[in-house]
Amino acid sequence: MKKKVLVLTGGGDCPGLNAVIRAIVKRASQESDWEVWGSLEAYNGILKDPMELVKLDFERVAGIHAKGGTIIGTTNKGGPFAWGVQNPDGSFRTEDRSNELLKRLKDNGFEAVISIGGDGSQKISKSLFEKGCPVVGVPKTIDNDLSETDFTFGFQTAVQIASDAVDRLTTTAYSHHRVMILEVMGRSAGWIALHTAIAGGAEVCLIPEIAYNVKKVAERINKRFKNGRGFVIVVIAEGAKSDVGEVFGKKSTEYGYENMRLGGVAFQLSEELKQAGCEADIRETVLGHIQRGGTPTAFDRVLATQFGVKAFEMVLQGDFGKMVAYKNNDIIAVSLNDAVKNYNYVSQKSYLVQTARGVGISFGD
Amino acid sequence: MKKKVLVLTGGGDCPGLNAVIRAIVKRASQESDWEVWGSLEAYNGILKDPMELVKLDFERVAGIHAKGGTIIGTTNKGGPFAWGVQNPDGSFRTEDRSNELLKRLKDNGFEAVISIGGDGSQKISKSLFEKGCPVVGVPKTIDNDLSETDFTFGFQTAVQIASDAVDRLTTTAYSHHRVMILEVMGRSAGWIALHTAIAGGAEVCLIPEIAYNVKKVAERINKRFKNGRGFVIVVIAEGAKSDVGEVFGKKSTEYGYENMRLGGVAFQLSEELKQAGCEADIRETVLGHIQRGGTPTAFDRVLATQFGVKAFEMVLQGDFGKMVAYKNNDIIAVSLNDAVKNYNYVSQKSYLVQTARGVGISFGD
Amino acid sequence: MKKKVLVLTGGGDCPGLNAVIRAIVKRASQESDWEVWGSLEAYNGILKDPMELVKLDFERVAGIHAKGGTIIGTTNKGGPFAWGVQNPDGSFRTEDRSNELLKRLKDNGFEAVISIGGDGSQKISKSLFEKGCPVVGVPKTIDNDLSETDFTFGFQTAVQIASDAVDRLTTTAYSHHRVMILEVMGRSAGWIALHTAIAGGAEVCLIPEIAYNVKKVAERINKRFKNGRGFVIVVIAEGAKSDVGEVFGKKSTEYGYENMRLGGVAFQLSEELKQAGCEADIRETVLGHIQRGGTPTAFDRVLATQFGVKAFEMVLQGDFGKMVAYKNNDIIAVSLNDAVKNYNYVSQKSYLVQTARGVGISFGD
Amino acid sequence: MKKKVLVLTGGGDCPGLNAVIRAIVKRASQESDWEVWGSLEAYNGILKDPMELVKLDFERVAGIHAKGGTIIGTTNKGGPFAWGVQNPDGSFRTEDRSNELLKRLKDNGFEAVISIGGDGSQKISKSLFEKGCPVVGVPKTIDNDLSETDFTFGFQTAVQIASDAVDRLTTTAYSHHRVMILEVMGRSAGWIALHTAIAGGAEVCLIPEIAYNVKKVAERINKRFKNGRGFVIVVIAEGAKSDVGEVFGKKSTEYGYENMRLGGVAFQLSEELKQAGCEADIRETVLGHIQRGGTPTAFDRVLATQFGVKAFEMVLQGDFGKMVAYKNNDIIAVSLNDAVKNYNYVSQKSYLVQTARGVGISFGD
C-alpha cells in the first residue's frame, strides 16, 4: 500500500494554487511509493460526513498550472479548531475538532498534510503540528503580508492586473482631464496598492499603513490641474485610513469587518474629495475579485511550482512543522512558529516607499 | 497656400480615436496641397479665445494608433449650439455660437471639418451642415448605439476588456462557489453587457432594453446552487432597469442622469439579490473607465483606420453632410440625416439575443 | 430513445472551435429529446475500429468557450472520401469510405451531422449531402478565406496576436533603428497579414495575392532610413510571392506544399533584402502556431457561439446541405454549393487594400 | 548654473529602460540644483560631432514607464574604448576614445554619468571609473546573466511573453497531437528558457549550460506519444548545444557569433529530431525580438523605477564606481569590480533546475 499525503487549500483563492498542487503531484509521481490526495474546500473534505477526498493524479492536474482558482476548492470560514456547528435554535457555535482531524488522518492512512494557505491557515498548521500532526505549510496570500517569505505567489498577478488597469485609465484620464480612483485589494497591508502605484505611474497612493489627510490629497490634485490640463491617478487600498480617525465621516472604530469589505471605498473617497474642494471630474473603478482570479503570471507560476516541489520534498524528508518560503532568491523552509509571528506591513522606511516618494507619489501624509 | 481640414474629437473618449486621426493625417499627406489641423477638446479649440489649434503632422501622429484616448483631447460638455457661458451671478446659460464657428472656420481657411463623435456630435454636425458647414462625420461610441453603422471602433475593445474580466472572475467564483456581479458600461443600450455575457459564458445578463425581475434572477441563481457546488456570473449594464418601475427601491423616474452614473449599480443589485433570497456569497466589480481606456484591439484599429482614410477621401470629393459607416462588411457614407434618426437598441428579436437565450443566459425576464 | 447529432471538427485547429461545440450542447439541452455526440479527430472517430465517439454533455463543455483548440481533436489528413490505408508494402493509398460513413451514422442512430471545418471540410460536407447525409456546415478558417461568410471565428484572434507582436517589435525596432520582419500565417490568402499591417502600423505588407518586387521593398526601406533614424516593420504572409516568378531563388513552381510550410520565409526574405541592398540591421520573428492557439478573443467567442446555436437550430429545422454564415451583420444559412464555389482572396480593389495604401503601407508592387 | 548628470542606455534594448530614465528624472526634479541629460545611442551622443545630447525633463518622460525600448536610443556596437573608425580603404578599425570622453564630460559640465547597460556596458563603466569618471551603473540584461543582482528588469517581461506563447501553443499541440518547438533568447545563459519551461509546463527544456543529446530528446518525445494521444512542448534557448560537440551537423567550434544569431535553431532542431526518429508532426515558433519589445510587466517597472531612484541617489551621495543591484529583496550598491567578475550561468545544482526536474522537465541530458 502506498504512502499518502493530503493536500488542501484554505482561505481566499489566489492565482498559483493550482500550480502548487500540480507540482506536488508531479514530484510525488517520481516516488513510486507515494500518492497524493486532496481534501475538498480546505478541512471540510476530511471533516465532513461523508468525507470528500479526491485522488490527485496526472490526469487531474494536466494543464492546471495555467488556471486560476483551485481545483480542490477553498473556504475562508472555519477550520478544525473553530468548526461551525448549528445550534437547535438556528444560531451557530464553533467546536474544536482538531483531535477528530488527527484521528481521521491516521485512520485514512495519511502520513503527511500539505496545507496551502495564508496567515490563518499557517496558524492552524502550527497548532496542528504542536498536537503531533505531520504538516508542511505553503504560504499563499494575494496581499504579500507574510513576513517570512519575500514573495508569495498570486501577488505579482494581482499587481499586474491592477497595473494594466492603471494603464487603461491613464489614457482616458489624460483625454478628459479627470481624476481616476482605482480601488485595489489590501485590508491591512498596502503592498498591492504600492506596487501598482509605482508600476502605473500614479500620483497618489493611499494605504492602510500610512493614514492620509484628505485635504492634502485634494491639494495635491488641484495643484496638478492648476498648471494646465492635467489628470490624476489615485490608487487606494480597500483598507486605507484617514488620519482624523475617521473613514468617510465615521470614526474608524465604528467600522467592523463588514464595512471594510471590498467596494465602496473608491466611491466614498470620491465624495470626500469633492467635499475637500477637489473640482475636477472624478471617476471610480473597483477591481474586486478580478485581482485574484484568472491565469497566474509566469513569475507566480514559477514560484508556485518551486513551492510545490519543495513542499513534497520536505514531506519526503519528514521535515514537518515548517513552511516553504522564498527568501534571498532561494527556496527554503522556515519554522511555522516564525512564520506566523509577525505580519508583513509596508514600512515607511522601506526602499519601496522611498522609491515611491522619489518619483513623486503622494501618500496623502 | 495649402487647403486645410479641421479634425476634432467630441464626447467620451474611445479606443481608436487616435487611429482615426493618424489615418486622416497619413492619407492627407499623399495629397500635396492639403494639411490637417486639430481643434483641442472638440469645438473648444476653435471657439475659445485664444483659439487652441494644433497642426497634425507625421511626427505628432507617429505610433498613436496603438494608444487609447485622443491626442487632441475631448469633452462631453457643450458644443457650438449650446456653448456654456457663465452669468455675472455665477450661474450658467448656453448660447448658440454656430454662426461664430462658421465664421472662424472661414477666417482661418478651413475648407472642411471632420468631426469624430457619438450621437450628440453627429447631431451637431447635421445642424452645422444644414447651415452650410462642409462637415464629414466619423461615428464613435463605445456603446455601439448608432443605428447606421454595424460596428463602431472602441466597442470591441470594451467587450474584450469586460470579457477578460469575466474570465478572471470565473476561476475565483468557481473556487469559492460565489456569485460575481460585473458592472459594465451601457446607460441606454446593453450591447457591451450582451456581448460580454456571451463571450464570457455568464449565466445572467441585465440590460436596459429588457426590464428584469429581481426575484427571477434570485431564483435562477439559487437553482444553480441547489444542484451542488455552483457559481454564477452576472453581467449588468449600468443602465439596467427593474420591471417594477423601480431601480433599487426608488421609482426609476426619480433617477436623473446623476444617479445613473457609473458605479453603485453592482453594489445595489447585490443588496437587492440578498433581499430577494439569494443565499450565496456575492462579490462586485465595477470596471468603470477601464473599458474605454488603453490600447484598442486590432479589430478596432483596422476599423478606425478605414474610417479615417474614408473620411479624408470624402473631404477630397466634397462629399459633405455624411457620416462614414461600416455596413455589410464595407466602408460607406450615409447621410447625417439618416445617421441620427434612430437609436440602436438591443432588439429582443435579434439573433444575438436568441443566441444568448440559446446558451442559457437569463435576462431576468 | 433520444435523437442524436454528431459533431466533428476537421482541418487545422482554430480559436473558437470549443465555443461552437459548447453552444451546440447548450442549445441542444433545451430540447428534451436530443443529445450531442462528438467524433474524435474529425471522421476518424466514427470510421475507425473501434469507433471513438464521446457523449458531449454539460460537464464536458463547462468553461471550454475560453479555451483554444478543440476538445474532440482534429486532423487535417484524409476524410471519408480519401481515407488513408496502408498497403502491404508500407506505401499508402486512399479509399472512398463515404458509404461506410453513411451506414455507420444510420446504424448508430445519428439523425444529423454538424461538421465544423474549412474549405476542405465544407467540400466533404457538400459531397456527403449529395449522397443523402443530413449535414450542416460551420465555417472555420484562421485565414478568413471562405467567400460566403464575412468573418470566420479564429481570424480576429490570429490578427490580434500578430498585432500585439507588431506592437512589441515596434519599440525595439525604434530603439535600435532596425528592420523587423514578422512572418504570419496565410498560404494563399493574405488577410491576416493585411489586417495585422494596418492594425500594427507596419510599413510593408507582403501577401500571396500581390506579387512583390524585392528591390522595391529594399528601396522603400532605405528611403525610410535615409531621412534620419528610422525603423521598419515588415509583415509577410508565409505564402507571399516575388514578382519574378521566384520565391527566394527558386521558381515558385518548384515549390510544393511542403516547401511552403510555415517557417523560413522571414529568414529568407531577410537574405533577399540584404542582397537587394538593404543596409539596415534586420531581425526575424516567426509566429507560427501561436496564431492559432490559445484563448479566443471576445469577438470570436461571440461569433462562434452564434454559429453553434444556429447550426443546431438548422438541425432542428431539418435545414441540411447548408453552412452557417455571418453576412451583413446577421447569422444566416447559405448552401454548401455556394459556400465552396469561390475562394476568398484579398482583392486589390477592396477598401481594405485602399486603406492600407492610404496610410502608406507598401505591398512591394 | 545647475549640476548635470548624463544618462545613457547601451547594448540591446530591454523593457524597463524607459522606467529607469523616468525615475532618474523624477527623482532629480526633487533636487533644485540638478538637471538630467541623455546621450543618444549610448556614448555616440557625446562622442559624435556634433554631439547629440538631449535635456530630459518632465514632459519628455511623461508616461514612458509603460513603453518598451528607450527614448534615447541604444546601440550594441563600439563604445569609448573601441570606437569604430572607417579607414580610407573602407575597412574599419577601433580607437580608444576614453580620454576624449572624459574631456567632453568635463567641458560640458557633467558631474556624473549613469550608464544603463549589460555586461559589456558595466565593463566599460568600470574602466571609465578607473580613469576617474564619476559613473554609476544600472544593470540591464534580458538574459538575467549578471551575477551580482538577483533580477534585472526586462527578464520577467521576456519570460511572461514566452510563457504566454507556450500557453497558446499548448492548445493547438493538444488538438493536433504535435510537437511544438519554441525558440527563445539566451545565447550563453538559459534563464529565459528555464523559467518559461516551468511556467508553461513544457516537457523539454534545452539550454546552453546543459548539453543535450538529441536521441534522448527524441526518446522522451516518442515515449509521451506511445501512451496514447500526446503532445509535447519543447523550449529551446538560441544558444543550446548538443553533447556531441556539434550543433546541427557542424562542430560547435565552427560557429562564430553570426551563426549563433537568433533564428534557425528551432527549425534545425526540428530536422535533428526527425533524423533521430521522432515521428510526430513538429512545428516551430521563433519569438525573436518580441521578447525584448513592448510594455514591461509590473514587476519590471517597479524594479526599474527602484533602480532609477537609487542610481540618482548614489550620484547625490557621490557613491561612484558602483552598480545598482537587487539583492535579497533590497536595493543596494555593489562595486563595478564585483559586478563584472562572474557571469551568471544556470547552475545544475540550483533549486530552479531541481524544480524543473521535479515536475518532469527533461534537459535532454
pLDDT in tens, D86-127: 899 989 899 999 999 999 999 999 999 999 999 999 999 999
Q: What mean pLDDT is predicted for residues D57-80?
A: 93
**In chain A, which among 2-61 make CB contacts under 8 A with chain D?**
22-23, 26-27, 29-30
The fraction of chain C above a pLDDT of 70, given in percent, is 94
Considering A234, A260, A293, which residue would you say is the last residue of a domain?
A: A293
Closest by CA position to A171, among listed C194, B293, C311? B293
* Option in B26, B167, B298 nearest C360 (CB): B26
Give domain status of residue A275, yes or no: yes
C64 and C119 in a single domain? The answer is yes
Banded pLDDT at A250 (limits 50, 70, 90): very low
pLDDT, mean of residues B280-306: 95
8 Å CB contact between C281 and D285? no
Mean pLDDT of C186-215: 96
Where among A293, A313, A331 does a domain terminate?
A: A293
How do beta strands C92-95 and C135-139 pair? unpaired
- Would residue D188 count as lying in a domain? yes
What is the mean pLDDT of the segment spanning C168-175? 94
CA distance linking residue C52 with residue C104, whole number of Å: 12
Q: Which amino acid is at B145?
A: D
* CA distance, residue A48 to nearest chain D CA (Å): 32
C11 and C145 in a single domain? The answer is: yes
Mean pLDDT of C113-120: 96
Is B264 in the A-facing interface, judged by CB distances under 8 Å?
yes
Residues D123, D254, single domain; the answer is no
pLDDT value for A245: 55
Q: C49 - beta bridge partners?
A: none
Same domain membership, residue C332 and residue C262: no
Q: Is the peptide bond before B15 cis (omega within 30 degrees of 0)?
A: no
Angle CA(C305)–CA(C309)–CA(C315) in degrees, nearest 5? 145
Q: What is the DSSP code (8-state) at residue A252? A: G
- Residue A258 clears pLDDT 80, i.e. is over it: no
User: What's the pLDDT at B72?
Assistant: 96
Q: Measure the CA dihedral A69/A75/A76/A81, to 10°.
A: -140
Strand (E) positions, chain B? 3-9, 34-39, 53-55, 83-86, 92-95, 110-117, 135-139, 179-184, 204-206, 232-237, 246-247, 250-251, 282-286, 322-327, 330-335
Helix axes C155-176, B298-316, angle to 10 degrees: 80
Instruction: Please give the share of chain C, as a percent, with pLDDT higher than 90.
Output: 84
How does the average pLDDT of chain A come out, rounded?
A: 92
Of these residues, C143, C145, C164, C167, which one is catalytic? C143
Give mean pLDDT, residues A1-26.
96
- Does residue D257 carry a pLDDT above 70? no
Residues A69, A211 share a domain = no
- Which of A359, A361, A362 to substitute to test the interface with D, most D CBs within 10 Å? A359
CA B234 – CA B206 distance, rounded (Å): 8
Is B350 within the bounds of a domain?
no
Q: Is A143 a catalytic residue?
A: yes
Q: Are B66 and C201 inside 8 Å of each other by CB? A: yes
Tell me: do D26 and D125 sit in the same domain.
yes
Q: Coil, strand or helix: which one is D35? A: strand
Q: What is the pLDDT of residue A138?
A: 98
One domain, residues B46 and B89: yes
Q: Is A245 left (phi over 0), alpha (psi -120 to 50) or beta?
A: left
CA distance B15 to D322: 44
Q: Is the peptide bond before D296 cis (omega within 30 degrees of 0)?
A: no
D345 in a structural domain: no
Residue D3 has pLDDT above 60, yes or no: yes
- Residues with Cβ within 8 Å of C342's Cβ and at least 6 positions away in sequence, in order, are C147
Looking at residue B113, the DSSP 8-state letter turns out to be E
In whole angstroms, give the CA distance from residue B316 to residue C156.
32
Q: Please give, one letter per residue, the 3-state secondary structure of chain C.
A: CCEEEEEEECCCCCCCHHHHHHHHHHHHCCCCCEEEEEECCCCHHHHCCCCCEEECCHHHHCCHHHCCCCCCCCCCCCCCCCEEEECCCCCEEEECCHHHHHHHHHHCCEEEEEEEECHHHHHHHHHHHHCCCCEEEEECCCCCCECCCCCCCCHHHHHHHHHHHHHHHHHHHHHHCCEEEEEECCCCCCHHHHHHHHHHCCCEEEECCECECHHHHHHHHHHHHHCCCCCEEEEEECCCCECCCEECCEEHHHCCCHHHCCCCHHHHHHHHHHHCCCCCCEEEEECHHHHHCCCCCHHHHHHHHHHHHHHHHHHHCCCCCEEEEEECCEEEEEEHHHHCCCECCCCCCCHHHHHHHHCCCECCC
pTM greater than 0.90: yes
* Torsion angle of the four alpha carbons D256, D257, D261, D267, in this order, in degrees rounded to the nearest 10: 10
Collapsing DSSP to helix, strand or coil, A5 comes out as strand
| Residues A187, A100 within the same domain | no
User: Phi/psi at B13 (nearest 5 deg)?
Assistant: -75, 170
Q: Examine the pLDDT at B259 and tell me if it is beyond 80.
A: no
Please determine, for residue C3, whether its predicted confidence score (pLDDT) is greater than 70: yes
In this prediction, residue A301 carries a pLDDT of 98
Nearest-by-CA chain C residue for B332: C351
Dihedral of CA A103/A107/A113/A119: which sign?
negative
* CATH number assigned to the domain comprising residue C245: 3.40.50.460
Closest CA to A346 of A143, A142, A158, A117: A143
- Alpha-carbon span B336 to B323, nearest angstrom: 6
State whether A195 and A269 are in the same domain: yes
CB contact under 8 A, B354 and C309: yes
Q: Which residue has the cell 527578464?
A: D155
Integer Cα distance of C346 and B326 in angstroms: 18
Report whether A209 contacts A189 (CB < 8 A).
yes
pLDDT over 60 at D263, yes or no? no
In a domain, C357, yes or no: no
Average per-residue pLDDT for chain C = 92
Same domain, D143 and D8: yes
Flag whether residue B156 sits within 8 Å of chain C, measured between CB atoms: yes
Q: Which residue has the cell 510544393?
A: C256
* B42 has a pLDDT exceeding 50: yes
- Residue to test with chain B: of C146, C297, C347, most B Cβ within 10 A: C297
What ipTM was estimated for this complex? 0.94
Domain containing residue A67: CATH number: 3.40.50.450
Judge: D298–A352 Cβ closer than 8 Å, yes or no. Answer: no
**Residue B346 within a domain:** no
State residue C248's pLDDT score: 47
| Under 8 Å between Cβ of B324 and B140 | no
Question: Quick count: other Cβ atoms within 10 Å of Cβ B217?
Answer: 27
- Among candidates D12, D283, D290 on the partner chain, residue whose Cβ is nearest the Cβ of C169: D290
Pairing of strands C3-9, C110-117: parallel
Query: What was the pLDDT predicted at B39?
Result: 98
Crossing angle for the helix pair B155-176 and B298-316, nearest 10 degrees?
A: 170
| pLDDT in the model for residue B246 | 52
- Confidence label for D264 from pLDDT (cuts 50, 70 and 90): low
**Residue D345 contacts residue D237 (beta carbons within 8 Å):** no
Compute, in degrees rounded to 10, the torsion defined by CA atoms D206, D209, D215, D221.
Answer: -30
pLDDT at D245: 55
Strand pairing category for B34-39 and B53-55: antiparallel
Element (H, E) at D283: strand D282-286
- Residue C258: the pLDDT is 37
Residues C358, C192: Cα–Cα separation, whole Å: 18
* Residue A345 CB neighbour total at 10 angstroms: 16
Residue of C nearest to B24 (CA): C359
Task: Report helix angle D98-107 to D119-130, nearest 10.
Answer: 70
Q: How confident is the model at residue C324, as a pLDDT?
A: 98
pLDDT (tens digit per residue) in D167-181: 999 999 999 999 999
Task: Assess A167–D contact: CB distance below 8 Å, yes or no.
Answer: yes
Answer whether C137's CB lies under 8 Å from C322's CB: yes
Give A270-295 pLDDT, tens digit per residue.
Answer: 888 999 999 899 999 999 999 999 99
Q: Which of D170, D351, D359 is closest, CB to CB, to A331?
A: D351
Residue A137 one-letter amino acid: G
Is residue D230 predicted with pLDDT exceeding 60? yes
Is residue A249 exposed (0-12), middle (13-18) or buried (19+ Cβ within 10 Å)? exposed
Boundary residue ending a domain (D293, D309, D324): D293
Shared domain for C22 and C148, answered yes or no, is: yes
- pLDDT tens digits along B185-218: 999 999 999 999 999 999 999 999 999 999 999 9
- Residues A293-309: pLDDT tens digits? 999 999 999 999 999 99
Helix (H) or strand (E) holding D222: helix D214-226
Q: Which residue from B74, B224, B227 is spatially nearest to A176, judged by alpha carbons?
A: B74
Residue D211: inside a domain, yes or no? yes
Min Cα distance A6 → chain D (Å) is: 18
Per-residue cell: D30: 526633487
Same domain, yes or no, for B278 and B313? no
The range of the structural domain enclosing residue C23 comes to 3-153+296-339
pLDDT above 90 for B244:
no
Q: Which has the closest alpha carbon to D160: A58, C164, B15, B165?
A: C164
Mean pLDDT (chain B) is 92
Query: How far is Cα A230 from Cα A234, in angstroms, rounded to an integer?
Result: 13
pLDDT tens for each residue of C46-105:
999 999 999 999 999 999 999 999 999 999 888 999 998 989 998 989 999 999 999 999
Q: Determine the distance in angstroms separating the CA of C160 from the nearest CA of chain B, rounded to an integer.
A: 5
B216, B234 contact by CB (below 8 A): no
Q: Given an 8 Å threshold on Cβ–Cβ distance, is A195 in contact with D298?
A: yes
Rounded-to-integer distance, Cα B79 and Cα B95, Å: 10
How many separate domains does chain C show?
A: 2
Cell readout for B104 is 472662424
pLDDT reading at D262 higher than 50: no
A155 burial type by CB count under 10 A (0-12 exposed, 13-18 middle, 19+ buried): buried
Is residue D82 assigned to a domain? yes
- Cis, peptide link before residue B50, omega less than 30° from 0: yes
